[in-house]
Structure 1
């Protein structure tokens, strides 16, 4: 099974190609300006070249459905659906938080708490155990000094771009804070393989990103 992986939920535009659970090629770049629309298809082409295959060799596409950047998710999901329609191949999806949690499994932590910045003091988050099993629903959580105090006796790792603002206010002595890890195609491979084995395909025609919160357009600054 050869899979194309697309992750665009944050400022990291990430594309990977795997075969039978092994990464063949990874192309990604972290961009503060969210240049996903210009880079995504170029990264797909580079990944195909690096893997020494063509689009017709792709058996399925796995895309990050969010939550995260509204624009980034629309770009990634639209591309994934286009590939699936054009090639007549199945679509699989993962949440951005389970992808982020995958980066920290089996590292000796009791709990993994990924955080994606949702602006101000709010983050998209959920709680996972040390093996990556999701223990709570995904939520948009406003952080304060009482957040996650019920886990004060646990060895916790917080990971993602929402960690920077949480580190200064969370009083958790057994916690580690990892800021420089982002949702990436490299963390999608094993999760995607599990979806394939369970035949958990999405309906390509009706699949939409998981925004969690409704989009509210702001006024463009002068």
Structure 2
């Protein structure tokens, strides 16, 4: 089974090729270029460097968020197009699940944090149960202070992973105890981690409905929030 995985929920664009017996290759680029420019080029180069074509791929895995609204739409549209063109299955995986998978061997609570701006994060809490991730809460959108309070109440060791680590590390160190932080290399959303989860799901018989699958946003986009604000003002609310 050959899986092509695409992660586009953050500023980093990442693609990976994974087989049942391991990772064939992965390209990750954290540079200020739009995913619409990067993704197909990364996919083409990865396939060529492994002497493969899109016809050799058995299934596609894509991040469904939460994360960058634009990045998620570009990634989802790209992979949906590849699935339609090749008539191959699609598996969508949460970007938070992928980040947590980077720290699967941690014995306490694994807490991915993705910066949602204005002192907020996208997050979820996980534990390693039998070598697989088990969610302790649903995917959520918290202020950093709410996050610290909830985890403190759980009274367990916590490891933080994700692009929110750099931004909120000082706050978390000042307001929490018994906490750890992932290495910089593990705080990227990796297509390989996403693909491993997707491969597990595929081998268990799961795939998404291509026409029904949509990104997880957790909150409205800035444009939607600004529109709502204008409507409130115009209605005298």
> With structure 2 as the length reference, what TM-score do the two structures score?
0.86
Question: How far apart are residue 147 of structure 1 and its match?
Answer: 4.5
Residue segments in structure 1 that go unaligned for 5+ positions in a row? none
Residue 198 of structure 2 corresponds to which residue in structure 1? 192
The CA deviation string for residues 99-122 of structure 1, in whole angstroms up to 9 with x for no partner, is: 000000113x31100001100110
Name whichever of 182-191 and 97-106 sits farther off: 182-191
Question: Which residues in structure 2 correspond to 1:118-157 (within 5 Å)?
Answer: 118-131=116-129, 132-144=133-145, 146-151=149-154, 153-157=155-159
Residue 233 of structure 2 corresponds to which residue in structure 1? none
Residue 36 of structure 1 corresponds to which residue in structure 2? 35
> Runs of 4 or more off by more than 3 Å in structure 1?
none
Q: Distance in 1 between matches of 2:73 and 2:196?
A: 24
Residue 17 of structure 1 corresponds to which residue in structure 2? 17
Question: How far apart are residue 179 of structure 1 and its match?
Answer: 6.1
Question: How far apart are residue 146 of structure 1 and its match?
Answer: 2.9
The RMSD of aligned alpha carbons is 1.7
Aligned length: 216
Residue 74 of structure 2 corresponds to which residue in structure 1? 75
Name whichever of 61-70 and 157-166 sits farther off: 157-166
The CA deviation string for residues 24-78 of structure 1, in whole angstroms up to 9 with x for no partner, is: 11111012x3521111000000110122111110111000100000000001000
Residue 2 of structure 1 corresponds to which residue in structure 2? 2
Residue segments in structure 2 that go unaligned for 5+ positions in a row? 227-237
Q: Distance in 1 between matches of 2:183 and 2:73?
A: 25
Question: How far apart are residue 3 of structure 1 and its match?
Answer: 0.8
Residue 48 of structure 1 corresponds to which residue in structure 2? 47
Matched, 1:173 2:172: no
Residue 216 of structure 1 corresponds to which residue in structure 2? 222
Q: Distance in 2 between matches of 1:133 and 1:206?
A: 25
The CA deviation string for residues 138-169 of structure 1, in whole angstroms up to 9 with x for no partner, is: 11111116352113x32210111112333222
Q: Distance in 1 between matches of 2:75 and 2:142?
A: 24
